[in-house]
Structure 1
């Protein structure tokens, strides 16, 4: 049962991350993107987030800040517009995912520990 739970959390996280990044790209970069690029970005971003967390996440204050910069760097690498645009996309993604999780949590569908965008 734990494997099934892990798979469900992974899928929900990937979907939420994809929706958040998609919304960020549409709002900040004003680009028409399909769902494949945001899904790949969410997947790479989550992998980079976990790996950077293992190596630098334990450093107080600096570790999580560097992890966030690295995550935004993945967005910057995947989409044109530079660091400011990437940070804007990331900010919109976090807000959208947070809002969706609050709504789904209120409805009793998911718990707030569903991830997909760092820090949620």
Structure 2
């Protein structure tokens, strides 16, 4: 059971990292490694989780603040400002969703990714 949890976490983190990696690569001129993308995914998941824990119970506002925190982490970690960070987030969400859809169709995982909200 613990091994299953670790495997699900790692697969989710890899998918989230892939999304961030592609988003940063497409939206900026920044040279990013997979390790940097993984750190962004982990920090973004942590920010999302903490904000959701404290204000997630607020209808609409809680989810919006969690999303702003996630984009804020991307903004802090990567060049380009808030608009670029939001674009990175959208690309990351699309990439992670597509990857998880393919893995789900193959019967390998259920649809969720660490570091990408709503996926």
Where does structure 2 lack aligned partners over 5 or more consecutive residues? none
Aligned to 1:56: 55
* 2:82 corresponding residue in structure 1: 83
The 8 Å contact of residues 55 and 62 in structure 2, kept in 1 or not, is answered as yes
Task: State the TM-score, normalized to the length of structure 2.
Answer: 0.95
Matched with 1:109 is: 108
CA distance in 1, matches of 2:97, 2:58: 25
Aligned length: 118
Instruction: Point out 4+ residue stretches in structure 1 off by more than 4 angstroms.
Output: none
User: Displacement, 1:31?
Assistant: 2.5
1:46 aligns with 2:45: yes
SS of the residue 1:25 aligns to: helix
Distance in 2 (CA, whole Å) between partners of 1:7 and 1:52 is 24
Coordinate RMSD, CA, aligned: 0.9
Q: Distance in 1 between matches of 2:9 and 2:110?
A: 13
Whole-Å separation in 1 of the counterparts to 2:98 and 2:66: 22
Tell me the alpha carbon deviations over residues 84-107 of structure 1, each in whole angstroms, 9 at most, x when there is no partner. Answer: 000000000000000001111111
Paired position in structure 2 for 1:10: 9
- Answering whether residue 52 of structure 2 is matched by residue 19 of structure 1, we say no
Q: Contact (CA 8 Å) 2:30, 2:79: kept in 1 or not?
A: no
Q: Give the gaps of 5 or more residues in structure 1.
A: none
DSSP 3-state at the match of 1:91: helix
Q: Distance in 2 between matches of 1:17 and 1:30?
A: 20
C-alpha deviation, 1:30, in angstroms: 3.1
2:27 corresponds in structure 1 to: 28
